[in-house]
Structure 1
Amino acid sequence: MDTGLLLQYLVIAAAVLISAWVVANKQFPGGMRKLRIALALRLLREGRAEWLRAIGRRIAPPGRAADAACGGCNNCDPPAAGR
């Protein structure tokens, strides 16, 4: 296999994975949050290499603050910029 062709396949594979991640985040935000938490927990275990733990911290979703007046609707995320 030619090196140029291999590089082309790698770029296309990266673009497809990034596109799938973006679509999944928009269509299934709750499921993607659970997936990100599961991945981050595996990467943040004790004894892991520091670079793996850094990736885990980057993957982990931001925490949700529970308000005392919260009705439990799980809609604590800040509003999106385009809405």
Structure 2
Amino acid sequence: MSPQASLTLQYLIVALAVAVSAWVVFRKQAPAAARRLRIALALPLVREGRPAWLRACGRRIAPMPMAVADGCGGCNDCGPRDR
């Protein structure tokens, strides 16, 4: 392997490690923004007419659906409390 190819490979590995690290920190610090970003990236991929492999990628990128609570989807702390 030439020195130029070796250096390029090294830079690619470092860039991948930095990108993964940045994504982990982003998800920890701003989970709602990370969820919105994943939805925005996945929506164009899962549309009808896209190839099956592209829709499968979109489904992998999309976050899990959030569980909806009773009627309002709120905090489940509605109604009278037993004291």
TM-score, with length taken from structure 2: 0.77
Match of 2:44 in 1: 42
Structure 1: give runs of 5+ residues left out of the alignment: 74-83
Q: Alignment partner of 2:64: what SS?
A: coil
Distance in 1 (CA, whole Å) between partners of 2:63 and 2:54 is 16
Please tell me the residue identity of whatever aligns with 2:10: Q
Aligned length: 73
TM-score, with length taken from structure 1: 0.77
Q: CA deviation at 1:49?
A: 2.8
Question: Which structure has the larger Rg?
Answer: 2
Match of 1:13 in 2: 15
Match of 1:54 in 2: 56
Map Cα deviations across residues 56-81 of structure 1 (whole Å, 9 max, x no partner). 111110001211166624xxxxxxxx
Structure 2: give runs of 5+ residues left out of the alignment: 76-83
